[in-house]
Amino acid sequence: MNLRRDVFQAIADPTRRAVLLLVASQSMTAGAIAANFDTARPTVSKHLQILTECELLKQEQNGREIYYHINAKKMKEVADFIEPFRKMWDDRFNKLETIMKKYNPGSNRKKK
């Protein structure tokens, strides 16, 4: 039993987030997943192991191949499932706000 494995640790790593995204589109074999990364195959395997251990990925035997697919239920248990999406918009809007605060069209600024 390994107490270090929790979902938050799992999604903290950028490669593992990329794996989740990849598998979210369709179930894939370890080989097909690894082919999308420059990282060495054993490293990808390790990431898959961690994701499987914390149940974000499920393995499914299909003939001789093992396919990985996303465990949507577990993904939703992650309290901040949509946090990266929110953060993306928050970052954009913060930028917008900063830019517009500095924006000075010059003379035509209305006095209220």
Partner 1 sequence: MERKTKINAEDGKQELVITREFDLPLELLFKAYVEPDIVEQWMGTKVLKLESKKHGSYQFETTDAKGNKYGFNGVIHEFVPNQKITRTFEMENTPFGVQLEFLEFEKLTDDTSKLNMHIVYRSVALRDQMLQLPFAQGINMAHNRLQNIVGKPACR
Applying CB under 8 A, does 75 fall inside the site for partner 1?
Answer: yes
Applying CB under 8 A, does 92 fall inside the site for partner 1?
Answer: yes
Applying CB under 8 A, does 12 fall inside the site for partner 1?
Answer: no
Residue pair 3/40 in contact (Cβ under 8 Å)? The answer is no
Applying CB under 8 A, does 48 fall inside the site for partner 1?
Answer: no
DSSP letters along 52-95, please?
HHTTSEEEEEETTEEEEEE-HHHHHHSTTTTHHHHHHHHHHHHH
Q: What's the CA gap between 92 and 80, in Å, rounded?
A: 19
Q: Which is nearer to partner 1, 3 or 112 (CB)?
A: 112
Applying CB under 8 A, does 100 fall inside the site for partner 1?
Answer: yes
Q: What's the CA gap between 47 and 96, in Å, rounded?
A: 36
Contacts to partner 1 by CB under 8 A: 11, 14, 17-18, 20-22, 24-26, 28-29, 32, 36, 72, 75, 81-82, 84-90, 92-97, 99-101, 103, 110, 112
